[in-house]
Structure 1
Amino acid sequence: MRFLAWVASLICAVNLLIGRSFSWLALAIVVVCFTVVVQRYLFSVSHLWMQDLYVWLNGAMFMAVAGFALLRDDHVRVDIFYRPAGIRTRAIADLIGVVLFLLPFTWVVYTYSLPFVIRSWGYREASANVGGMPGLYILKSFILAFAALIALQGIAMAIRSVLVLSGNSELVPESIRYRTDQTPADHTVGGL
């Protein structure tokens, strides 16, 4: 069981590192978007590659931080029943949700996007706009990263559920412990 707890801890550390790193893209998006607006409306200058850039940064950020959001429990959840439920009930709900919904979803996303991404890499796809950004194939690769990071965090959630249901809840990594205070999440994972 300690090995499972270590694996969950490792997955959470990966998603925490990637999430913290890629969340800085939000600032870059704001700066690039602001620059595009200022150039267009004050100087009547427009660079299509900059317009592509902030859209692409947005897509990369949201796909890369999806696992981090799942780690922090930031995804939308109808918790009319979940929030007041006991820890064992939450563990059962999470285990069923991960096995029946999350992992199959990530498998479908990965399976159907892989040929799409391979084809894009094959001809080094760039923006469809003349004067746009090169390297669209790199952005499309984030679809695979999205599926992998969400699946990994789902596995960490399943491990948490197994540890709780087996009576080893003390082994659950701090970053993914169930909250027992019956209040909305405070989202302070890892000192954020």
Structure 2
Amino acid sequence: MRGLLKLSGLIDAVNEGIGKLAYWLVLVAVIVSSANAFIRYGLNTSSNAWLELQWYLFSAVFLLCAGYTFLRNEHIRIDIILGRFSKRVQAWVDIFGILVFMFPMTILIMVLSWPMFLDSYLTNEMSSDAGGLIRWPAKILVPVGFFLLTAQGVSELIKRIAYLTGHRDEPGEKMHSHS
């Protein structure tokens, strides 16, 4: 169990680091959005590349932070119902949800999105909009984001099992302070 908990800690550290990097992506998205609005309305000109860059940045934050959100226990839950049960029952419900719902969905999306990215990369797919960007950077975000979410699911599964076997304290609590 010690080795699995170390793996869990490594996964947590990766998603924590990516989450902190995404804070900066939000700032970049705000700057790009503000500059784009100024250029569009103040200078009466525009570029599809700027609009697409905003979309890429939003996609990056959303997809890359799914695992970070799960790590921080900030994802959508049914706490109003689940909160009435003991911590052990909650851990079993989490294990069931991860195995039966989360893993099949995240793995399926990773598998299905990889060929779309690969095709886009190999053909150097470009936006159909004039002046648009290449598409593969946006498309790689889907399998990468769902890989990070799947990995965090593995980490959370390890923590739930460690809790149930007495190797760890409550896994569902928010274990990190907000930055």
TM-score over 0.5 for the pair: yes
Q: Percent identity?
A: 28
Structure 2 unaligned regions, length at least 5: none
1:23–1:65: 8 Å Cα contact kept in structure 2? no
Aligned residue identity for 1:97: G
1:91–1:160: 8 Å Cα contact kept in structure 2? no
1:15–1:68: 8 Å Cα contact kept in structure 2? yes
Task: State how far apart, in whole Å, the 2-side matches of 1:156 and 1:116 are.
Answer: 28
Residue deviations 1:57-106 (CA, integer Å, cap 9, x gap):
11111111110011111111121122243221111011101100111011
1:127–1:133: 8 Å Cα contact kept in structure 2? yes
Tell me the TM-score normalised to structure 2 length. 0.93
**Count, aligned residues:** 179
Which SS does the other structure have where 1:81 is aligned? helix
Task: State how far apart, in whole Å, the 2-side matches of 1:191 and 1:34 are.
Answer: 27
Residue deviations 1:125-157 (CA, integer Å, cap 9, x gap):
1222111123x1121011111111010000011
Superposed CA RMSD: 1.6
Residue deviations 1:149-173 (CA, integer Å, cap 9, x gap):
0100000111011111112124x7x
2:73–2:172: 8 Å Cα contact kept in structure 1? no
Residue pairs, 1:71-150, within 5 angstroms:
71-134=71-134, 136-150=135-149
How far the C-alpha of 1:191 sits from its partner, in A, is 5.5
Which SS does the other structure have where 1:125 is aligned? coil
Task: State how far apart, in whole Å, the 1-side matches of 2:47 and 2:9 are.
Answer: 44
1:153 alignment partner in structure 2: 152
Aligned residue identity for 1:189: H
